[in-house]
Structure 1
């Protein structure tokens, strides 16, 4: 992987992790057309995912600090309740990761037709939110588990995690700002958990790491981190303004092109 390829893939990871267009789907498409299989290099994957996790922590540092401080009061308060809903939302994706890991991994690896089809599904989900104008509700334990189910489905390449979770929250009538906040914070534990598991795999089988130049790793990390910062802030603004319909159109077009391309190749 060259420095330019690492920059492009890092940029794709950072932008699409937060924008509702599917980071996994775009990484699959980017890797395919660049002729690079980035998922074969665990170290690169760990670094770019760590970069986007770090950008989330930077953006929501005050919220995270408040939650931690609330937890250490050892009483049932707003912060403890929010943390409990985050944990509840993690259960579906955790079960999928534990029991269906091999099946999920089999879905990756240049399956352009699948990615295109799932991008069209993402497009439809985002479009539905355009017709739901009532967003005054709070995140509840019931809605947390439903949003968690949406996150579990988003493991499929082409289904946007942020798109599916935010859209689900909006369709449930949750306040736009609170929907975005919950969506971005709920992904931190799964991302960190996945990074730890990949790090464990890396330590057990260091031969899985290809000989990537240090500069490529550094460039990929900072490309993902900086683009992640910008995309996260942009996405919060987009949700508040109710502009998800534009991404519905984008995902529909890219998905259709991928389906056509996948059928012809």
Structure 2
């Protein structure tokens, strides 16, 4: 049975989803941990669908011009066999998504559920925080997303598959890897955000399929409210992150991960 959520839970959980989906701090980790810390029941499948729709709408709206150019040039290149930078970028998004899809099918047997442990999340939060900071220090920061090669894409794609482990952060691991490959922080973030679109869409469709097959009633006001809050907060995060990331760097996010990991260890050890 789907839980009945009050507006405090709806607002907090949707805001967390919107704020953390695109920051390198793990949205899944927060959505697992916040209800556990506050003693709230699991938010349920319907709410997960709603907040995924909200964040997907935010990233699609923000990158609507890029998506249009990538789609147009990719479609033309299938006929003309003459690639452009936009058609290559579209191919890179498609190809870099495949390892995560394959890995997702492989662990779709309960392994992921067994990893939803606060101490495992603490370890991945801290460990990948160290790697994020190190990549910010060591990365050359001279390339943009259009300079990526097939080899680069496969490396980023397999790194993204690791993010299926709770606490890793999909955006965090893809930005980390892109930085180590020499991309600027803004270029790394832009490619990470574009790369999120097929995965958020796929995850949302799978959850929606499960929801449609379920006979439990849906709290539609919770879904609509959650989708709207996650959409607004995610759009603001994307815009501000891309505006400031070249100046701010990854250190604040790494430090946040260290603090969060330490708090989890303190609370659950």
Query: Equivalents in 2 of 1:163, 1:114: separation in Å?
Result: 17
**What is the CA-CA distance between 1:130 and the residue it aligns to?**
3.1
Where has structure 1 moved over 3 Å in runs of 4 or more? none
2:20 corresponds, among 16, 37, 40, to: 16
**What is the CA-CA distance between 1:37 and the residue it aligns to?**
3.8
2:196 corresponds, among 187, 205, 210, to: 187
Q: What TM-score do you get using the length of structure 1 for normalisation?
A: 0.91
Other-structure match for 1:52: 55
RMSD of equivalent CA atoms? 1.6
Alpha-carbon contact 2:74-2:88 (below 8 Å) kept: no
Q: What TM-score do you get using the length of structure 2 for normalisation?
A: 0.90
Q: Unmatched 5+ residue regions in structure 1?
A: none
Alpha-carbon contact 2:136-2:176 (below 8 Å) kept: no
Query: Equivalents in 2 of 1:133, 1:104: separation in Å?
Result: 31
Secondary structure of 1:186's aligned partner: helix
Other-structure match for 1:107: 115
Other-structure match for 1:176: 185
Other-structure match for 1:77: 84
Alpha-carbon contact 1:129-1:167 (below 8 Å) kept: yes
Query: Equivalents in 1 of 2:120, 2:138: separation in Å?
Result: 28
1:200 aligns with 2:209: yes
**What is the CA-CA distance between 1:71 and the residue it aligns to?**
2.0
Alpha-carbon contact 2:62-2:235 (below 8 Å) kept: yes
Distance 1:256 1:18, change over 3 A: same
Distance 1:216 1:201, change over 3 A: closer
Aligned length: 257
